[in-house]
Structure 1
Amino acid sequence: MKQKETALVCFSGGQDSTTCLFWALAHFESVQAISFVYGQKHSLEVEMARKIAKKAGVPFEVLDVSLMAQLTDNSLTNPELKMDEEKPENTYPNTFVPGRNMVFLTFAAIVGFQRGIRHLVTGVSQADFSGYPDCRDTFIRSLNVSLNLAMDAQFEIHTPLMWRDKEAVWALSDELGVFDLVRQETLTCYNGIPGDGCGHCPACKLRRNGLEKYLSHRHKKTE
């Protein structure tokens, strides 16, 4: 049964946030989507997000938070920095953008506050990620409390993928009836290649590994 409220989805046009967008449509009476330009090398993701939102019939807007690219050096915003394809020992991969999820959710909360929207949705996951600290459940819970205190509000941050690995995320997209859309029309690849991507960046490896496991298990079920 859908909640008779509005949800605001942090939406990048990738596999996870697209799955979350359709999850929100299945759980809330009304859904809006917000995307962010933060100096990322591949702004194509924003345009793909816009197209998916239009197809889903969801209002879509973009906020410019590109100041982030001036404050941090990482391979997603710096074209001169060679991307880590494997996680280094004792540190984060250089695809980590410090504070990104905190900034996105904070600005989403500000927008939500102005519109009377208290439900925020994000696609972070602790089950299958690249070691980013701002994808952890403890961080999301802490930020939720901080946002409520900062704005004297009752925000609820929803993380439908928190405990799902990539195989389970594919399964959810299939349950929601958008498996093909997620596979063909999203952009997860750190090298900016839509669909199945480049195949060798960290995001593509996670996505492909989960897809192969899901398709294998789905095939066995139909035998």
Structure 2
Amino acid sequence: MTSLHTPPRAVVLLSGGLDSATCLAIARDMGFETYALSVAYGQRHAAELAASKRVAQALGAREHRTASVELGQFGGSALTDPGIAVPLDQDNTGIPVTYVPARNTVMLSIALAWAEVLGANDIFVGVNAVDYSGYPDCRPVFIEAFEHMARLATKVGVEGAQLHIHAPLIELSKADIIRRGTALGVDYGLTVTCYQADDDGLACGRCEACRLRAAGFKAAGVPDPTPYQPRSA
């Protein structure tokens, strides 16, 4: 329960990347007391998790937790299976090999569990359906369906709470996301977006995530603070 003097709570999924950092800043700007949740799912770009700690602290999250679920044991994605190469210097057609089966469904379910314990009726996720890689779990229809499911599957939902899944970036271009975050004081130098960043968080500059990010900064007219790995000759 919240009083007139207590801000409502929200769980914000925080990968440590550009989009989720912006999402956390938006939730804070909307007046929510934010609880940041990162998920270690066996991703090869684990430098994002270190970045999530920096971002949560910088943006004033009330609490930051990292949940673990080993999706990597199933493989099936270039982000969790070392036997599948991350595509470089190419645009995707169809659903790419960087799609992680059921990832957003799993992460939103974990966020829903924490939100119910916290008494939070709001969950924020930084999915995007404009400058993105074609993942099916980044579409508005998925977010709407999950919100409906959340109201059916939880104690608070069947007791009448109106649970909301917020996806404030879903219809924004990458440039618009960067402009919005910059206006809210996000330090994108703290974030890691690359699918195969090294242990120091240096980006490859060649995967689709890197190229979408770089194009976004260029289109936004904002200097790109991304540290890149040195290119071999």
Match of 1:166 among 158, 170, 174: 174
1:121–1:158 contact (8 Å) kept in structure 2 = yes
Shift of 1:192: 1.1
Letter in 1 for 2:53: R
Q: Using the alignment, how far apart are the partners of 1:205 and 1:173 within structure 2?
A: 19
Q: 1:88 to 1:55 in 2, by over 3 A?
A: closer
1:188 aligned residue: 193
Q: Deviations over 1:126-157 (max 9, x none)?
A: 11110100000000000110111011412101
**How much has 1:88 moved relative to structure 2?**
4.8
Alignment of 1:62 onto 2:70: no
What's the counterpart of residue 209 of structure 1?
A: 215
2:14·2:36 contact (CA, 8 Å) conserved in 1? yes
Q: What is residue 221 of structure 1 aligned with on the other side?
A: none
Partner letter of residue 127 of structure 2?
Answer: V
Pairs aligned (count): 210
Contact preservation (8 Å) 1:196, 1:208: no
Distance in 1 (alpha carbons) for counterparts of 2:135 and 2:97: 10
Map of 1:139 onto structure 2: 142
Deviations 1:45-102 (A, max 9, x none): 1111112212223110000011x1122311111122111233554x411100011001
Partners of 2:45 and 2:194 within 8 A in 1: no
204-213 or 192-201, larger mean C-alpha shift: 192-201
Instruction: Indicate the SS of the match to 2:7.
Output: strand
Contact in 1 for aligned 2:76/2:101 (Cα 8 Å): no
TM-score by length of 1: 0.88
Shifted more, 128-137 versus 185-194: the winner is 185-194
Q: SS of 2:211's equivalent?
A: helix
How far apart, CA to CA, are the structure 1 residues paired with 2:213 and 2:169? 14
Q: Equivalent residue for 2:28?
A: 25
Using the alignment, how far apart are the partners of 1:115 and 1:11 within structure 2? 17
Can you give the 5+ residue segments of structure 2 that lack an aligned partner in the other structure? 1-5, 223-233
Equivalent runs, 1:121-132 vs 2, <5 Å: 121-132=124-135
Matches of 1:166 and 1:195, distance apart in 2: 20
* Equivalent-residue separation in structure 2 for 1:48 and 1:186 (angstroms): 5
Q: How does 1:44-193 map to 2 (within 5 A)?
A: 44-58=47-61, 59-66=63-70, 68-85=71-88, 86-89=90-93, 91-152=94-155, 153=157, 154-178=162-186, 181-182=187-188, 184-193=189-198
* Seq. identity, %: 34
Cα separation, 1, equivalents of 2:86 and 2:103: 18
Q: Secondary structure at the match of 2:165?
A: strand
In structure 1, list runs of 5 or more residues that go unmatched.
Answer: 217-223
Provide the aligned C-alpha RMSD in A.
1.9
CA distance in 1, matches of 2:50, 2:128: 24
Find 2:10's aligned residue among 7, 10, 22: 7
CA contact (8 A) 2:9 2:118 kept: no
Deviates more, 1:80-89 or 1:127-136: 80-89
Per the alignment, in what secondary structure is the counterpart of residue 51 of structure 2?
Answer: helix
Q: Under a length normalisation based on structure 2, what TM-score does the superposition of the two structures give?
A: 0.85
